[in-house]
Amino acid sequence: MTDRRKLYFFYEEQNKALLERMQPIYRILEEKGFTILNEPKNANAIISVGEDGTFLQALRKTGFRDDCLYAGVSITDETSFYCDFHIDQAEKAIEEITNTEIEVRKYPLIHVTVDHDTSFYCLNEFSLRSSLIKTFAVDVYIDDLHFETFRGDGLVVSTPTGSTAYNKSLHGAVIDPMLPCYQVSELASLNNNSYRTLGSPFLLSGNRALTLKIVQNDNDYPVMGMDNEALSIKHVDQIVIRLSEKGIKTVKLKNNSFWEKVQRTFL
């Protein structure tokens, strides 16, 4: 085994009980010649310990790297969408992750640019929501086509793996992560003689750009969400969303395909 596989960074909640639960796992890894790093920069594997929300945070805090492997360890009774391993089966997990014939799968990301300036990635979704008990309006462009003017509570733009999260609560379709696309779903649109939207979620090919131009009025401060984190930009004119060429790498395990997870979770 080469050193390349031996530098691990763990992203976990800093609570005493969890840190204690992790000690035997760190010991086993160190006995096997692994180094547990204090920061993610040179890590070959970044491992979140918690729930799906922790995995989303682990990615964001470590910069959505595409040159390392991400893995999620669940601390609840069940594994989840991004947590393929369970904390009580640490030895098995270590064996799987350190296997030289490991199969890797890639999860798509969306790339979001705000006002030609700030940009970021999302693994689940980008959400744009009114921060007031008041609607706001958005001109929606698909490439250069002015597609619709949305007025309502907001819009959610999700990746295929995010399709089982917020998007699903909005009656969006569950999308196979092997399809290079992203999905747009509405949050309570107004549909009347002044405003009309498609009214159903739609999928865009990964080659298209989605532009959201916020119609400036007296509700100019919608909240923007990058997965489970709010973006604190006060005044926004335009948001451009694309499917990123970059994806994140995770471990592919037997009997744990995306559709097996969907079946396990929802059926």
Cα atoms in the 13 Å half-sphere on the side-chain side of 242: 11
Which of 84, 96, 125, 153 touches ligand NAP by CB under 6 A? 125
Q: Which amino acid is at 255?
A: N
Q: Can you tell me whether residue 5 is helix, strand or coil?
A: helix
CA angle, residues 108, 109, 115, in degrees to nearest 5: 155
Q: What is the DSSP letter of 164?
A: G
Residues 28, 94: contact at Cβ < 8 Å?
yes
Span interacting with ligand NAP, options 37-45, 94-102, 158-166, 214-222, rule CB under 6 A: 158-166
What residues from 168 to 187 belong to the interface with ligand NAP (CB under 6 A)? Answer: 169
Which of 48, 135, 164, 185 touches ligand NAP by CB under 6 A? 164
Binding mask 2-21 for ligand NAP (x = CB under 6 A): --------------------
| Residue 162 lies near ligand NAP (rule: CB under 6 A) | yes
Binding mask 28-57 for ligand NAP (x = CB under 6 A): -----------------------xxx--x-
* Number of residues in contact with ligand NAP under rule CB under 6 A: 16
Which of 62, 124, 185, 244 touches ligand NAP by CB under 6 A? 124
Residues 196, 148: contact at Cβ < 8 Å?
yes
- Residue from 52, 84, 153, 227 carrying the catalytic annotation: 52
Residue 169 beta carbon to ligand NAP: minimum distance, rounded to whole angstroms: 3
How far is CA 255 from its chain centroid?
22
Measure Cα distances from 74 to 36, 64, 180 in Å: 19, 20, 28
Measure Cα distances from 99 to 28, 37, 102, 195 in Å: 15, 20, 5, 56
The verdict on whether 115 is a catalytic residue reads: no
Q: Can you tell me whether residue 17 is helix, strand or coil?
A: helix
Retrieve residue 222's tokens: 């919608």
CA angle, residues 38, 122, 101, in degrees to nearest 5: 60
Cα(86)–Cα(261) distance, integer angstroms: 14
Which of 166, 175, 186, 258 touches ligand NAP by CB under 6 A? 166
Residue 165 beta carbon to ligand NAP: minimum distance, rounded to whole angstroms: 3
Q: Which amino acid is at 56?
A: L
Residues 130, 150: contact at Cβ < 8 Å?
no
Residue 93 beta carbon to ligand NAP: minimum distance, rounded to whole angstroms: 17
What residues from 55 to 94 belong to the interface with ligand NAP (CB under 6 A)? Answer: 56, 80-81
Which residue lies nearer to ligand NAP by CB, 7 or 184? 184
Binding mask 191-230 for ligand NAP (x = CB under 6 A): ------------------------------------xx--
Residue nearest to ligand NAP (CB): 53
- Applying CB under 6 A, which residues contact ligand NAP? 51-53, 56, 80-81, 124-125, 161-162, 164-166, 169, 227-228
Catalytic residues: 52
